[in-house]
Structure 1
């Protein structure tokens, strides 16, 4: 049962996005819900032998719990994305050289972007986590194309080194997903479902 609204029609529990990502913040703003942002202090290194899907799920939940510990009365969203190339996790490149190597490896390949989201509320004991895998088929990319793209967009803070919402779309042959914002970093269909289950009323 959703919790009652206040007299002003607002949700009674605050909403916190447990992420430092501006992409996730911009996506969550689409829902027209007031929220604050808190950066989780979470080690994102994979465990030995950990599969990309399991890594994304674990980190999304860990981020939500880390922030919920500081905001126990809030509904907290945690999310994580891992690029999955044949079972190997690829993280954010961080610089030009690593981004070049990632795109060289993904050229002509199908990469699964495992985008996980978790919603936690300590006060009510609510916890849900889900994942939205996105199949991305990359074109065959030559060195000049990779260099032009990276110089133009500098996607060094994006898992997989390509921004599908920007110029990176030109590197792709196809995107297959049932949650269209998942590739950008936050699967909003699943997020909305969990927020409702946590008791929030969406506009």
Structure 2
């Protein structure tokens, strides 16, 4: 029986690490060292796909015998990319711009196994509708959760769920940062089955 190849998550995101742990596969974490600057006129979906693949390729370049997962998420507000706010003022501005609107969180995942010549990626959009939030609600939420490392300033897995009226997706973990249904599918294609002995 061929031994299972090393699995690497090419991400420093604790959210993605925690999600991947659900598949109960042993894996390592490595930083992908990728420039995440959008290209001129690049659509949010294209940006997420490009970066997910770039992250997986960057790590795979140093570990060609490993199966590498890369992922990226870009919030799409009416065609405009919304990234991680980084601080309180930007988070306030993001949530004000999104109140009462639908935002599509474009989450992409890529799997690369250079040694086997395998490379695949998929985009998993999640449509989220925000409540018409008051400034006071925005302030209370941000002070409580401080989601400055999350695209769109909202953690749906925490108190951020109170900001929303609806979530539409065929892969619920995509909104948190790693679409596990699609990830498991790509891993099976790459020769790693989470349910295999």
How far apart, in 2, do the equivalents of 1:154 and 1:147 lie? 10
When the two structures are aligned, how many residues end up with a matched partner? 195
TM-superposed deviation, 1:201: 2.2
TM-align CA RMSD: 0.7
Equivalent residue, structure 1, for 2:185: 193
How far apart, in 2, do the equivalents of 1:164 and 1:111 lie? 13
Equivalent residue, structure 2, for 1:100: 92
1:167 maps onto 2:167 in alignment: no
Partner residue of 1:144 out of 136, 147, 167: 136
TM-superposed deviation, 1:178: 0.2
How far apart, in 1, do the equivalents of 2:29 and 2:82 lie? 25
How far apart, in 1, do the equivalents of 2:176 and 2:194 lie? 21
Residues 126, 168 of structure 2: 8 Å contact kept: yes
DSSP-derived class of the 1:201 partner: coil
With structure 1 as the length reference, what TM-score do the two structures score?
0.95
How far apart, in 1, do the equivalents of 2:170 and 2:30 lie? 28
Q: Which runs of 4+ in 1 moved over 3 A?
A: none
Q: Deviations over 1:158-179 (max 9, x none)?
A: 0000000000000000000000
Partner residue of 1:156 out of 148, 152, 155: 148
Residues 184, 193 of structure 2: 8 Å contact kept: no
1:76 maps onto 2:74 in alignment: no
Equivalent residue, structure 1, for 2:57: 65
With structure 2 as the length reference, what TM-score do the two structures score?
0.98
How far apart, in 2, do the equivalents of 1:5 and 1:193 lie? 20
User: Larger helix proportion, structure 1 or 2?
Assistant: 2
The correspondence of residues 2-81 of structure 1 with structure 2, limited to 5 A, is: 4-6=1-3, 11=4, 13-81=5-73
TM-superposed deviation, 1:202: 1.3
How far apart, in 2, do the equivalents of 1:192 and 1:201 lie? 7
How far apart, in 2, do the equivalents of 1:5 and 1:133 lie? 35
How far apart, in 2, do the equivalents of 1:128 and 1:23 lie? 22
TM-superposed deviation, 1:5: 4.4
How far apart, in 2, do the equivalents of 1:180 and 1:89 lie? 21
Stretches of structure 2 lacking an aligned partner (at least 5 in a row): none
